[in-house]
Structure 1
């Protein structure tokens, strides 16, 4: 018996000694997301739950400031960007960068937020009012602008009195009553809702999906260089599989996984009330998706074409914006 126990302990010790080496032998993939962004949550779960090793790669996970993160990817400092909108992909392809989106990440976890004291019932009720945003050329403002134009028939940039500050500062503007509403994304939406006893006046994903009968564009996508995808098809599938499990965990826990310290800390959420609101909003509005069907991709291209019609922000929708791995790199080996 003593020999059996000793042998078992030796085997266990050998396993744990070898595990790091095994992880180090896996091919490396560098992934990036915006620091503090909800769009980075699936990547946080992949890292925190060791889903990279489970699906055959050794991940390096970089959380970078919003300013300059896309340029960091374009110059080759990351293999996969987990937190890019399709506008950025279009701009880059127009400038000659051979990048493409190969999977969705975030549904539109953004919208128009008003304080609890607001009498507004629809975006039309804000005409002539002060509304905060963080840039007419941002994906958030552009998507809200087109959605409101389609659903209500007016241009927010013309009919609202717009005030521009950073995404975080919008929360203070709304709280201090300096604006009547804000355009913002999570987790700033939940911060604003808690700070003002507020609410979504327009939840971009849920409201637009209902309006269109099921379609809404994604706010964030997985993006990679075409060369990397073609040279590393199994790694691309592995990253996709890890993401699928990450959002399955979000769904299975009804977004309660956001309470895990490694997620809460990376999101920078210190308030229990804000975290509660974020979890409730995520569960109610399905903030993440893996629906990359041909139908959805085609509808997303049509949406981008509408953005390009006035030529103010996007002049052209380049070919090759979105690919399905099965078609682009072939089936799994």
Structure 2
């Protein structure tokens, strides 16, 4: 009997080990190619640190990239499974025949910042001034501001100001040094500018709202291929769930931010506080994206940026957003 019990115990242990090994083998690795120092890393780190990927059936592998273009090349070439981009790029790709799908990540947008002692009180006060713009002439925030200036002030912002285009860190430094009179930058650099004593002349969200757009529409998100959604919907929905779990944690848990602080490149308590507040303000509401609102935004971007920005897309392509786990 004793021998039989030992044999049974050993057999049970072997079966358990096999099942455990099988479960590990079945865990899918999800390769995320993102900017090495991008703010999305705060959320991805939260997912990994708390095992939210494992809880949702995948293993997250974060690959730091030097730039957005490199991430897109890795994604399109099959070297990465997910990247972060804006949904307007996804819409352009879908219109061109590429089956990409957008999972909302952030609704945060930037604004126009000026020095605390600047005389500027509105965009009209920037006539003849030099404006630093993160990105290029087709930057979405810049396009929205041009439309806003034309509608509210009858002002041709592009021709009545001088523009300096550059990478976000360069525009940040140029703004602080006074090399430019105003700066349009991404939200996290805007938060740092605010913490450094600059003030906001106008928020892109307010300009968008004035133009009839919905600032609650998330602009940035995770991008996956439709093939993955079709073949492994649990994986894609697992990513969306893990993202939401991390957001819920970051929205309310100050201790989690204290843990992340060394990774945030915050030079002061003021910057840390501003970055935390900015990230939280950018968390989109749960639930499906309002596709009618998104379509209005796309139509305006087509009007302002044309084919250079959106290619052949003239309206929101069906299937752009992951909706209700679909």
TM-score scaled by length of structure 2: 0.81
How do 1:317-332 and structure 2 match up within 5 A? 317=313, 319-320=317-318, 322-326=320-324, 328=326
Per-residue deviation, 1:143: 4.5
Match of 1:300 in 2: 294
Secondary structure in 2 matching 1:281 = helix
Correspondence for 2:309: 313
Matched, 1:198 2:198: yes
Distance in structure 2 (CA, Å) of the matches to 1:60 and 1:327: 22
Gaps of 5+ in 2: 1-15
- Alpha carbons of 1:145 and 1:321: their partners in 2 closer, same or farther (altered >3 Å)? farther
Cα gap change, 1:191 to 1:77, in 2 (>3 Å): same
1-structure distance, mates of 2:149, 2:45? 32
Task: Please say if 1:289 is aligned against 2:284.
Answer: yes
Aligned to 1:128: 128
Distance across 2 between alignment mates of 1:215 and 1:272: 28
Q: Which residue of 2 aligns with 1:331?
A: none
Shift of 1:20: 9.6
C-alpha distance in 1 between matches for 2:215 and 2:288? 11
Contact 2:81/2:225 (8 A) holds in 1: yes
Q: Is the 2:34–2:63 contact (alpha carbons within 8 Å) kept by the matching residues of 1? A: yes
1:282-315 per-residue CA deviation (whole Å, 9 max, x = no partner) reads 44xx112144535x22211211111112425334
Q: 1:72 aligns with which of 68, 74, 80?
A: 74
Bigger drift between 104-113 and 210-219 goes to: 210-219
Match of 2:6 in 1: none
Q: Rg: which structure is higher? A: 2
The 5-angstrom pairing of residues 62-101 of structure 1 reads 62-66=63-67, 67-81=69-83, 83-101=84-102
Specify whether residues 156 and 24 from structure 1 end up closer, same or farther in structure 2 by C-alpha distance, changes over 3 A only. Answer: farther
| CA pair 176-292 structure 1, distance change in 2 beyond 3 A | same
Question: What is the CA-CA distance between 1:95 and the residue it aligns to?
Answer: 4.0
1:278 aligns with 2:242: no
Match of 1:170 in 2: 171
Deviation at 1:272, TM superposition (A): 3.2
Q: Is the 8 A contact 1:24 1:58 kept in 2?
A: no
Per the alignment, residue 183 of structure 2 pairs with 182
Contact 2:115 2:181 in 1 (8 A): yes
Q: What are the ranges of 5 or more consecutive residues in structure 1 without an aligned counterpart? A: 1-14, 329-333
Render the CA deviation track for 1:200-243: whole Å, top value 9, x for unaligned. 22222356447748544433112111111100111111111101
Distance of 1:33 and 1:75 partners within structure 2: 15
8 Å CA contact 1:99, 1:225 repeated in 2: yes
Q: Deviations over 1:32-83 (max 9, x none)?
A: 32222224432222122221011121111223222421222111122222x2
Q: Give distance in 1, aligned partners of 2:41 and 2:101.
A: 19
Residues 327, 270 of structure 1: CA spacing in aligned structure 2 closer, same or farther, 3 A cutoff?
closer
Q: Does 1:30 align with 2:25?
A: no
Residue 60 of structure 2 aligns to a residue in which SS?
strand
Work out whether residues 46 and 243 of structure 1, in 8 Å CA contact, stay in contact via their aligned partners in 2. Answer: yes
Gap change, CA 1:265 and 1:77, over 3 Å in 2: farther
Change in CA separation of 1:163 and 1:229 when aligned onto 2, cut-off 3 Å: same
Quote the Cα distance in structure 2 between the aligned partners of 1:275 and 1:20. 42
* Aligned length, in residue pairs: 303
Tell me the CA shift for residue 23 of structure 1.
5.2
Cα gap change, 1:138 to 1:207, in 2 (>3 Å): closer
Answer yes or no: is the 8 Å Cα contact 1:23–1:53 preserved in 2. Answer: no
**Alpha carbons 1:209, 1:216 under 8 Å: kept:** no
